[in-house]
Amino acid sequence: MIVSVTMNPSVDISYHLDEFILNEVNRVAHVSKTAGGKGLNVARVIHLLDVPVTATGILGGTLGTFIENQLDRDGIAHDFLKTNQESRNCIAILHEGKQTEILEAGPHFSTKEKNEFLTHFGKFLKAGNIITISGSLPRGFDASVYTEMIRLASEQQIPVLLDCSGKVLEQVLKAKKAMPDLIKPNIDELNQLLGKKLHAENLDGLKTALADPLFADIEWVVVSLGAKGAFVKHNDTYFQVKIPSVQVVNPVGSGDSVVAGLAAAMLQGKSVEDIMKTAMTTGVLNAMETQTGYVNKAKFDLIFQQVEVIEMK
Ligand code: ATP
């Protein structure tokens, strides 16, 4: 099965307001509350593809219970380490065509929770499993938590797909202690990592960038390029992956859906080409839906047939 890790899950609350007035009482009639966090999107999409998945990470309090109840409702298996600290709310206020976000920092953990989680994580390290790790870390945890998880998994030859950004990604890669099998930066995250200003159209530039020694020990580097598909390094081979033009409804969570597609296709033992095609298909399918981290499997074949993989010479 696939084990999808979310270290800092949240309850994502959306408040829809015609007008947002500061320093006044704003009453909200249209509210949505969902289990959030990038790894939970990954788990949901894998589940929608009918591939076995378990969601894990750390959660606690009534918001933790809310997240578990939502996963139960959606039929997604889960096994989180429980903490007595309350999980966080992330609030998006949608008003006048704008989005104002209020993101709680969430729980603050120490070495005690780090060790407890690594022990908990150990039970998923069984032959045949694939691990995905997505998103930011809770306060008190640093990149060494991810490095340690990758090290434990690689000792058992269990593939790890890592989708995080900024300092944490940089520190994991530069530590050179244990490398993930796959990373999936988008173009902005790649530019930030390398201190470059590459555009999605600059395929030669992307190829040169991915030849950086930083990526030498990573089997897959999948750079997602939004509507322009992806640029991929698989070992020493480079690919441009083109996607069809579709009616886009909500592309948020498309990156998570790409990770879901990659993991699902790997678990199913698909070819290198079909792993890339599956990942782009799930990214596109998510962009076609209102809900974040959701794909309509019935449209899978239609999109898959239109994805084109071109090897770069
Ligand atoms: P997010 O952070 O919202 O999850 P991301 O920035 O990590 O997304 P993107 O590069 O925007 O990821 O998109 C991932 C994939 O989703 C793309 O490679 C593509 O397959 C699909 N996708 C994204 N935007 C579009 C779009 N406008 N039209 C079609 N497909 C899209």
Residue 176: per-residue pLDDT: 85
Mean pLDDT of 207-218: 97
Task: Give SS3 for 295.
Answer: coil
Residue 154: per-residue pLDDT: 96
Rounded Cα distance, 293 and 253, in Å: 5
Buried b (16+ CB within 10 A) or exposed e, 64-78: bebbbebbeeeebeb
State the distance from the centre of ligand 1 to the C-alpha of 227, rounded, in angstroms.
6
Rounded Cα distance, 60 and 63, in Å: 7
State the distance from the centre of ligand 1 to the C-alpha of 114, rounded, in angstroms.
32
Query: DSSP alpha helices (H): ranges in the chain?
Result: 38-48, 61-73, 111-122, 143-155, 166-175, 187-194, 203-210, 254-267, 272-287, 300-304
Q: Is the pLDDT confidence value at 210 over 90?
A: yes
Do the Cβ atoms of 276 and 309 come closer than 8 Å? yes
Against a cut of 0.80, is the pTM above it? yes
Q: Is the pLDDT confidence value at 313 over 90?
A: no
For the Cβ of 251 lying below 6 angstroms from any atom of ligand 1, the answer is yes
Do the Cβ atoms of 78 and 55 come closer than 8 Å? yes
- Nearest 5°: the CA angle 173, 82, 183 is 20
- Sequence-separated (6 or more) residues with CB below 8 Å from residue 182: 159, 160, 161, 162, 218, 219, 220, 221, 222, 262
For the Cβ of 226 lying below 6 angstroms from any atom of ligand 1, the answer is yes
Rounded Cα distance, 45 and 257, in Å: 6
For the Cβ of 224 lying below 6 angstroms from any atom of ligand 1, the answer is yes
- Sequence-separated (6 or more) residues with CB below 8 Å from residue 276: 222, 230, 232, 239, 241, 307, 309
Domain hosting 105: range is: 2-311
For the Cβ of 106 lying below 6 angstroms from any atom of ligand 1, the answer is no
For the Cβ of 283 lying below 6 angstroms from any atom of ligand 1, the answer is yes
The single-letter code of the amino acid at 200 is A
Q: 33: exposed, middle or buried (C-beta count within 10 Å: 0-12, 13-18, 19+)?
A: middle
Q: Is the pLDDT confidence value at 306 over 90?
A: yes
Residue whose C-alpha is closest to residue 46's, from 232, 293, 298, 303: 293
Residue 256: per-residue pLDDT: 97
Q: How far is residue 19 from each of residues 25, 27, 93, 96, measured CA to CA in Å?
A: 11, 10, 10, 6
216's enclosing H/E stretch is: none
For the Cβ of 280 lying below 6 angstroms from any atom of ligand 1, the answer is yes
Tell me: the pLDDT tens digits for 289-302?
999 999 999 999 99
For the chain, what is the domain count?
1
The single-letter code of the amino acid at 309 is V
For the Cβ of 225 lying below 6 angstroms from any atom of ligand 1, the answer is yes
For the Cβ of 229 lying below 6 angstroms from any atom of ligand 1, the answer is yes
% residues pLDDT > 90 (the chain): 97
Question: Which residue is closest in CA terms to ligand 1's atom 17?
Answer: 226
Q: Distance from CA of residue 19 to its chain's centroid?
A: 32
For the Cβ of 230 lying below 6 angstroms from any atom of ligand 1, the answer is yes
Rounded to the nearest 10 degrees, the angle between the axes of helix 143-155 and helix 166-175 is 50
Mean pLDDT of the chain: 97
State the distance from the centre of ligand 1 to the C-alpha of 230, rounded, in angstroms.
9
Rounded Cα distance, 68 and 80, in Å: 9
Instruction: Among 183, 224, 302, say which to mutate for ligand 1: greatest number of ligand atoms within 8 Å of CB.
Output: 224
Residue whose C-alpha is closest to residue 79's, from 136, 134, 23, 6: 6
Q: State ipTM.
A: 0.98
For the Cβ of 248 lying below 6 angstroms from any atom of ligand 1, the answer is yes
Question: Which residue is closest in CA terms to ligand 1's atom 2?
Answer: 255
- Nearest 5°: the CA angle 233, 238, 240 is 100
Tell me: the pLDDT tens digits for 103-145?
999 999 999 999 999 999 999 999 999 999 999 999 999 999 9
Residue 170: per-residue pLDDT: 97
Tell me: the pLDDT tens digits for 6-53?
999 999 999 999 999 999 999 999 899 999 999 999 999 999 999 999
Tell me: the pLDDT tens digits for 150-165?
999 999 999 999 999 9
Q: Is the pLDDT confidence value at 177 over 90?
A: no
Rounded Cα distance, 172 and 215, in Å: 11
CATH of the domain at 32: 3.40.1190.20
